[in-house]
Chain A
Amino acid sequence: MRALVWHGKEDIRYDTVTDPEIEEPRDAIVKVTSCAICGSDLHLFHNFIPAMLPGDIMGHEMMGEVVEVGHGVNGKLKKGDRIVVPFTIICGECDQCKSGNFSLCERSNRKKELGDTAYGHAAAGLFGYTHLTGGYPGGQAEYVRVPFADATHIKVPEGIPDEQLLFLGDIFPTGWQAAMNCDIQPTDTVAVWGCGPVGQMAIRSAILLGAKQVVAIDCLSERLGMAEAGGAIPLNFEEESVIDRLNELTDGKGPEKCIDAVGLESHITMYQPDTVLDRAKQMFMLENDRPHALREMIYVCRPGGTISIAGVYSGLSDNIPLGQLMNKAVTIRTGQTHVNRWTDDLLRRIEEGQIDPSFVITHTVALADGPEMYKTFADKQDSCIKVVMRP
């Protein structure tokens, strides 16, 4: 089959590889009809997440048709079913799965020892991601093997196009969880850093959850425009001071809820000298992340407020102002998304026409164009916000 394969930093190739096969009784093979490139893939593309191997198949946002199931799948899934694959692999039976903490599944990370060493305790297995999370081959491919398939799936009805459903596997629940973790009240100002696909979904979620006002922060005009269309107040950090504007919008008190949809690759600019220092340290392997947005959030957040981190961080970050954090009694909530915790509700909202997540798609291409689209998306060219590929 054909697949997008990681060969090294900024080197993704459209390769011919062997087809996946059923390995375990609870496996299924899915023929991918649509897949997408995520902001998390960019961290792998830029080689900021450790423990990738040349030859790893990329992709954790995919959907398609079940073409084969193992004998342990037990009728919960059958050949011909149309499913979205959640990016977090779940057994559905461990303590964490039973508590709905699906991204922390205790059994799906097949390289648990590695994860334990790196993170203290391993998190769930993820598709198309580092070997710290199991190194499972991803879904930017014609076929993908889904482990624990009887639990790791979201069944979706016929009659709704792929574009509206695909994002149930990652960015829609990710934006939703980012907002849910804020426990939004009707009087709240929710500030969202980053207007990439995750930020866009977080903005819509905050609106649907009844926030008083939502502020969207970025420096890319096309993304700020899309954020504004979704009901947010745009704030271009290259044109005005984030701190001043947020305080102005909240009677000088700061936003109650802050969402990080930027992650470890904060924009580097001379106007934010900490980002230049972080970048230099990253180069000498003295620091993994560039947490500028997070520092800004901790500073501007209202005392007693909440910071919800959806953006991915990979390891060690320097100069986190713990003094501000502690003295202001700020709550921090984080996590890879517990996808299946939210998808019943979100699928219903799509079916009822409350939201149509396909608004975020700006590029639809063939899988063969994947390598070039990685570059376009990474360099934020061609007004690219979300790439969907059809294998």
Chain B
Amino acid sequence: MTQSFRLENVGLINRDKKLSFKFNGKIYYGYEGDTLASALIANGIHLIGRSFKYHRPRGFFGAGVDEPYAIVQLYRNGETEPNTKATEQELFEGLEATSINCWPSVNFDVGAINNFLKIFLPAGFYYKTFMWPKSFWYKVYEPLIRKAAGLGVASTKHDKERYEHKYEYCDLLIAGSGPSGLASAYAAAKNGARVILAEDKARFGGTLITSEVNIGNQSGKEWAEGIIAELKEMPNVTIKNRSQVFGYYDHNMLVMSERISDHLPKTKKFHPKQRLWYIRAKEVLISTGSIERPIVFGNNDTPGVMLSSAAKEYLKVYGVLVGRNPLIFTNNDSGYETAIEFKKNGVDSIILDTRKDPQSEIVNEAKNLGIDIKFSYVVVAAQGYKKVKSADIAKISDDKEQLGAIKNIKCDCICVSGFWTPTIHLASQSGNKIKFNEDIDAFVPGRSKQNEKTLGAANGIYTLEETLENSFETGHELSKKITNNDNKISLPKVIEKKSTTHDKFWCVPLPRGKNYKRFLDFQNDVAVSDVEIALKEGYRSIEHVKRYTTLGMATDQGKTSNLNGLQLVSSIENKIVPEVGHTTFRPPYTPVTIGAIVGREVGKHSRPTRKSPIHSWHEKNNAVFVDAGVWLRPRYYKRGNETLFEGSKREARNVRKNVGVCDVTTLGKIDIKGPDAAELLNRVYTNAWLKLPVGKARYGVMLREDGIVMDDGTTTRISENHYHMTTTTAQAANVLSHLEYYLQLVWSELNVNVVSTTEQWAGAAIAGPRSRDLLKELFPKCDVSNEGLPFMGYMEGDLFGVKARIFRISFSGELAYEINVESDNANFMWKKIIEVGEKFKIQPYGTEALSTLRIEMGHVAGSELDGRTIPYDNSLEGLVSNKKDFIGKRSLNREAFISSDRQKVVGVVPLDKKTSIPEGSHLVKDSKAPLPNTKLGYISASCWSVEYDNPFSLAILKDGKNMIGKKLFAMSPLKNKIIPVEIVSSHYVDPKGERVRS
């Protein structure tokens, strides 16, 4: 296929590099420097997709970020991306794209029947039709709508591309490299400020690339290229193309997405696809320019109707004609630029100007070139279905109410200019109070909230000279504040032909007897009649009208539709636009890929994985790991084909019978030092700490101020003013913050320091009746007899030349010890324990066996200390001192906490001694009671008791202390189980605690 709409020798594309690409399965050619849109237009393709609601044919409307129509499904290097704007996607060799939103094909679309049945789809259609019956929504309506409408298809595959995040600081961030961006960046950079200049497109220069202006005896384009070349050489300037500043957040932080590889067939090795920049700027200059707005007329969504500036850009940048027989429809001078550009390339156009008698240099130039201009004329309706074939035009009265006789003229495109709308999104996001400017019929930034200034067209200033003057000045002033340098740039001579006034006309009235659809929002198919319905039905707030009609809610976020929507509401309501108000601008300005937002935090990188120093030994010994917070801990060590149930039972039995060893390095450890250390512990824990002797450990429970248990653990007095605190794995960080809070803010008089030593110490618990025999051989020089190292005792020892701490503490309820060594010696310790322990039949055990052991002993842990229970609930009331005050004590006599039937931890055994009770099951009196069945308690933890070889669970049960011996039902609607159970003591094994003291 030939590029029959491509001009020779025009444009900025690289004609030496021809590229092939596929659209809807067909091969076409374009050039390097094309967008997918310009390449398709060069090939005469104007039918790109179908509209969202009515499935009307869709072509191209713009040439950039504002494009509402031309969104495609893109295929690149085995990946697919939905809703890519063809006007933004740069062409690369082998690019593939397909239409979205048409089934079975773009040329024959079943959904287009909606277009002829549009009575069914007025404003609020979805709300009205699909609300009832509810069950129909998921099964019938939604799949139907999704198939017929819907946008592109998101890939369900893993995204293999890499995305990066970058944090950056600068003096000035300048968003947009048009005249105002370049001028302000140049002035600031010359003054020594650190500048970041961001351009959304591949080419720098904004409108300077396409405007017929003259700056200092150079064309706008040449002047821009000179400035850019100079900026690129300056060490204090970072200049980025393909980079969209899309969000303005608090304290002058802006986020920019840089498309590094999207324009290449394949991401280069070691390169990311996209990079997200978090930029903290001292000052922000918004030079985002403006977007041309459409004029509303009949069938204004027909392919071939497009913005006049887009037609000019396709011509001047890409050397592509959007038509050979163009009709220009304008209310200001901008349309003339496009007409003149056509003329220069030998294409005659007709200009319809809504104005009666405009006076400006450019109008005269057009007249002198012999361009056919019709003043006080409008397009009433476009004709043609898949492409404009002709236009119905008419003269319009001075009051713009009456249409004259309608004539049909041939044309193959209609280039529309309804004047310009400043791109104020970033300013508005920053908290700027935007205001309506009557002169340009659009909102402009008002009072700044943050350090932000808006320049040039984005601020409603449409003359180049004023823009450059302001921008040089602003760049200079702001940078001077920061760098104290004072290098002023003098304004070059500027020549511009067009005037910047416009005719306040935005919507062509319907001719009598005609009912053309006149669209406001091209992507979401919102027509004038839809807004009229919404207002008739009583919607008033513009935010409500927006949601009811979906005006401005598509992926283009109403960049071309918002203002005309406001104009319509204001004219129906007889209000001025500022009274109608505006909808809120929120980030992102343009769609951002999820990949860019997520960055490198994918899979295992989404949070750090913490591993014990003994991890590789566990791996080698067939450990099956489990996530414990951010830690990986062995769950059990698999032998042969053992299941978790079998393996953990074996390990737990071996602890009860011989001896086991468990890696407890993950426990939180906090070193506490200072003369007031004991006093701190006494205030933090519920029990007494002032009299704990050196060389002794004590179990403690700490509360929050509301009386709820926060954490538990043992703390050991290492020396006079030195304590070693342990916390649960999960609460380690919170407990440290908690201690710091009280030491820094509440009791600053206490002379104590706390620091985390979790990573400094590695720990191994050895538990079981033969653990002392093992310990004796590990520490032959230490007296580890029951007298020498009694329960809750502590001593230091020498483990074959390595310094070790030995604690006699137990979580398993067996005779047990915990050995700590410096983390560097962890593997040495572990291997020695395994080696020496062999003759005592030692086996390593994982967290599953650990749970089993603690559950059947009735030791509470995280599943009982779940942020909802007090000491009494956990049978820890014996540890609550009534002699001293401590954190949370005053809360413990709250009415609910002391009620006689207060919940308490109990043991639960199934009557059949066979059926395991699912954790989370509810305990109820009557399993057949009508719903809602009163819940008496819940199963907090379940295990298979290795002592009795039957299931055993812990539960938190109302009036637990009086329920022992009662029969209840454990119900799990999730697992569909009803299990008759008996309530027993939570201390199922060794209720007197003799083993730990043996």
A binds B: no
